């Protein structure tokens, strides 16, 4: 019964392997339709096979909007994903002139560790370019904290008050 269900899903939605290959088509299409956008698909090789490792995307209009009308403030966090791929959805938002959240970039990382956060922050820095004055707000995750110090050493680091209170509880 389970095999039939998987075959039916593959028939309707496509296979897991083919969806991985579509990521590279998606990257090429985004770069064609939105020049200047940063779309990175990172892979790893295990036992001679290529596997998805992590993903990053910052659309050029979002980056331009940040530079044109947002405060020099970034909020970065991630949330766990549960499903066939158990990783984390990482996101970076800014604040616009009305104090509304302004989406800037997102990505998928396997785990919240220093290596993945450094990779994410490096892609973000590549998308934004140098910024002289910047405040970055994160949770207390050591990997993210260290990555911010490494990639944005001039930035003022702040800890999210909600996460701080949650840690006290």
User: What pLDDT, in 10s, does the model give residues 15-69?
Assistant: 777 777 889 999 999 999 999 999 999 999 999 988 889 999 999 999 999 999 9
Burial of 96 (0-12, 13-18, 19+ CB in 10 A): middle
Asked whether residue 25 is assigned to any structural domain, the reply reads no
Asked whether residue 80 is assigned to any structural domain, the reply reads yes
Per residue in 90-100, pLDDT tens? 999 999 999 99
How many Cβ atoms are within 10 Å of 120's Cβ, its own excluded? Answer: 29
Asked whether residue 21 is assigned to any structural domain, the reply reads no
Residue pair 77/91 in contact (Cβ under 8 Å)? The answer is: yes
pLDDT at 124: 98
Total-model pTM: 0.87
Asked whether residue 22 is assigned to any structural domain, the reply reads no
Asked whether residue 28 is assigned to any structural domain, the reply reads no
Q: What is the CATH number of the domain that holds 103?
A: 3.30.420
3-state helix, strand, coil in the chain (%, to 5): 45, 35, 25
Number of domains in the chain: 1
Asked whether residue 3 is assigned to any structural domain, the reply reads no
pLDDT tier at 89 (50, 70, 90 boundaries)?
very high
Residue 83 has pLDDT above 80, yes or no: no
Range of the domain at 75: 37-168
């Amino acid at each position: 019964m389970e095999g039939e269900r998987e075959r039916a899903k593959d028939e309707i939605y496509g296979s897991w392997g083919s969806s991985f290959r579509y990521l590279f088509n998606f990257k090429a299409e985004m770069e064609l339709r939105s020049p200047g956008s940063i779309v990175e698909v990172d892979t790893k090789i295990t036992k001679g096979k290529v596997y998805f490792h992590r993903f990053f995307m910052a659309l050029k209009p979002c980056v331009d909007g940040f530079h044109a009308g947002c405060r020099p403030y970034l909020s970065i966090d991630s949330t766990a994903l549960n499903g066939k791929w158990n990783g984390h959805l990482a996101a970076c938002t800014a604040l616009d002139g009305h104090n509304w959240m302004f989406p800037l970039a997102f990505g998928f990382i396997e785990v919240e560790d220093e290596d993945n956060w450094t990779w994410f922050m490096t892609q973000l820095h590549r998308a934004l370019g140098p910024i002289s004055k910047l405040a970055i707000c994160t949770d207390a995750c050591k990997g993210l904290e260290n990555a911010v110090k490494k990639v944005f050493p001039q930035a003022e680091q702040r800890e999210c008050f909600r996460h701080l209170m949650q840690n006290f509880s």
